[in-house]
Amino acid sequence: MSGWADTPEFAQVACIWEVMTRKVGNVHPAAPFPGTTATDFLLSAAALNLPFADRCGRGVGMAVWAAAEATREMVGQNTNLGIILLLAPLVAVRESPALRDGIPGVLAGLTVDDAECAYKAIRLANPGGLGDAHEQDVRAEPTVTLLEAMKLAADRDMVARQYANGFADVFDFGVPAFLDAFARFGCVEAAVIDSQFRWLAAYPDSLVARKNGPAVAEEVRGRAADLLNLGGIATPEGRRAGVALDRHLRSDGNKLNPGTTADLITACLFVALREGKVAPAAPFRWNAEDWL
């Protein structure tokens, strides 16, 4: 097992693996968005080094704010807010290499100051489709802890839901899905692609829903489920359906970018790395000629 003192490096590796993977609808080296390339995401991964260097010793909220500020200084835009919000509590786990054992204490220790710093980070990043909240809107000063604020948003945002449920979706669904796929395909990229489809088929993407409405997010979920029924990336039919889904997600100015799913996958990769379930030097490239 890799030493858990390498936590900040594992966060960077997770971010690098995520953007280097040819996932549907997301930025990767062969598929930039207007004004955003894979290089921006790689630079954003580098920006996490100092904010996470002390394993969030100054507090989760301060780490979120520092990481968002470092990213803004590095690339001039929001590329990784969801990733930062997910990784910061996981990085802060100190007492045990088993993250699930330590995350409840981290979440229970979150304060109003953590919420204030996280709100500042969200305002700085200005994520798309943010809208207004009935309680504890990020444009106002928080009066509850970061955990309590996330619980208020958990029904509409999968990142907030992880705070509310102790990262149960990451530990119970996402990490096992990735590890199972890694065992089947033997490389990180194919395992991440397979994981993306399993996430999309199980949970409507929060970013797609914020930008386009819940019905559109549900339609994307149904397409991913149909793809898995064809055998997923293990079959030619499934791969053809994946290529078609990729075209659909990119067809209207990338408005159907499943960005929250990408953030959740990054958290799962971090857990797998931190707990020694997969090594940074694991085989990466998936050699499929009929893929993206």
pLDDT, tens digit (0-9, with 9 covering 90-100), for 89-133 = 999 998 666 899 999 999 999 999 999 999 999 999 987 544 454
Structure tokens at 208: 């797609």
Residue 260 burial (10 A CB sphere; 0-12, 13-18, 19+): buried
pTM over 0.85: yes
**Burial class of 132 by CB neighbour count within 10 A (0 to 12, 13 to 18, 19+):** exposed
* pLDDT at residue 1 in the model: 39
Domains of the chain, start order: 4-189+260-274 (1.10.4200.10)
Distance of alpha carbon 274 from its chain centroid, rounded? 16
Q: How far apart are CA 2 and CA 148, in angstroms?
A: 33
Q: Identify the CA nearest to 266 among candidates 80, 6, 130, 104.
A: 80
Using one digit for the tens of pLDDT, what is the confidence trace for 236-246? 999 999 999 99
